[in-house]
Structure 1
Amino acid sequence: MTHIVILEETANLENELSGLLNFLYFFILLQL
């Protein structure tokens, strides 16, 4: 059970980081 929870948490974290990187990339493009 613990391994499944860890995998889900990792997936959620990766999704959040991906969204944050996309936001930063978009913000940088607006500054050009």
Structure 2
Amino acid sequence: MIWQWKLHIIHSGEIRMKLRKDAGKIDLIFYGRN
């Protein structure tokens, strides 16, 4: 059911931008560890 919750949140522009920024930070962390 979590995927439905995520899809519901993605409909919000502000939250989507926040998720993208958070995802970017996570990507930087993973790249830094490699």
TM-score bin, normalised by smaller chain: 0.5 to 0.7
Q: Which has the higher contact order (CA 8 A, sep 6+)?
A: 2
The alignment-based identity, stated in percent, is 13
Q: Judging by fraction of residues, say which structure has more helix.
A: 1
Superposition TM-score, scaled by structure 2 size: 0.64
User: Which structure would you say has the larger Rg?
Assistant: 1
- Give unmatched runs, 5+ long, in structure 1: 1-5
Q: Following TM superposition, where does structure 1 have runs of at least 4 consecutive aligned residues deviating by more than 2 angstroms? A: none
In 1, Cα distance between the equivalents of 2:33 and 2:25?
12
Number of residue pairs the alignment of both structures matches: 23
Instruction: Give the deviation of 1:25 after TM superposition.
Output: 0.1
Report the secondary structure of 1:12's partner residue: helix
